[in-house]
Amino acid sequence: MDKSQERGELLLNMKKNKWSLRENSSLCRYIPIISILGAFIAALFILFYPPMPGIADQGDFQRVMKATGLTDAKGQDSSHWFKYVVTEYKTLPTSSLRFLGIIPTTSMIYPITFGKLLCNIIGYNYFDTRILAFIYLILHMTGLYICFSCIDFKNIAAAVFFSILSIIILVDGNYIVWFNSLYGEPMMIVGFLLFISSILYFSKHREDRSYKKLLFIFISSILFLGSKAQCFVELPLVVFIMLRIVKIDRKQIFSKTNIFLVITTLTLIFYVRGTYCKIDSSCGVDTKFNSVFYGILKNSQSPKKDLTMLGLSPDLSVEAGKHAYLPKSAYVKYVPWSDITNREFNKKISNVNIVKFYVFHPDRLLKGMEYTASKSFHTETSLGKYERSKVSKYNPEFNRFTFWSNFRNLKLPKTLSFIAVFYTLVFLVSFIEYIKNKKNEKITLQIEILWMIMFVGIVQFPMPYIGNGEADTAKQLFLFNYTFDITFLVGCTWIFDKLIATYYKYKRFYFELLS
Which residues lie closer than 8 Å to 163 by C-beta, 6 or more apart?
A: 31, 32, 34, 35, 38, 148
Report d(CA 339, CA 305) in Å as an integer. 24
Residue 89: beta bridge partners? 72, 127
Amino acid at residue number 99? F
| DSSP string for residues in 290-310 | HHIIIIITTT-S-HHHHHHHT
Buried residues in 397-413 as b, exposed as e (16+ CB within 10 A): ebebbbebbeebbeeee
Classify each residue of 480-490 as buried b or exposed e, where b means 16 or more C-beta atoms within 10 Å of its C-beta. Answer: bbbbbbbbbbb
Q: pLDDT tens digits for 135-188?
A: 999 999 999 999 999 998 888 899 999 999 999 999 999 999 999 999 999 999
Instruction: Specify which residues 88 forms β-bridges with.
Output: 128
Q: What's the whole-model pTM score?
A: 0.91
User: Judging by DSSP bridges, how do beta strands 88-91 and 127-128 pair with one another?
Assistant: antiparallel
Beta carbons of 457 and 364 less than 8 angstroms apart: no
Q: How many CB atoms within 10 Å of residue 46?
A: 25
Quote the DSSP letter at residue 503: H
- Cα separation, 429 vs 355, in Å, equals 32
What's residue 275's pLDDT? 82
Tens digit of each residue's pLDDT, the chain (515 residues) = 455 555 555 445 544 455 555 455 566 778 999 999 999 999 999 999 999 999 999 888 988 999 999 998 776 666 778 899 999 999 999 988 898 888 889 999 999 999 999 999 999 999 999 999 999 999 999 999 999 999 988 888 999 999 999 999 999 999 999 999 999 999 999 999 999 999 999 888 877 767 778 899 999 999 999 999 899 999 999 999 888 877 655 556 667 777 888 888 999 999 988 887 777 666 678 889 999 999 999 989 999 999 999 999 999 999 999 999 899 999 999 999 899 999 999 999 988 899 999 999 999 999 999 999 999 999 999 999 999 888 888 889 999 999 999 999 999 999 999 999 999 999 999 999 999 999 888 889 899 999 999 999 999 999 999 999 998 899 999 999 999 999 999 999 999 999 988 877 777 766 667 66
Q: Tell me what pLDDT residue 22 has.
A: 47
Say what the alpha-carbon torsion angle 80, 82, 85, 88 is, to the nearest 10 degrees: 60
Give domain limits for the chain: 202-281, 284-360
DSSP-assigned states of every residue in 88-137: EEEE----HHHHTTSS---TTHHHHHHHHHHHHHHT-SSEEHHHHHHHHH
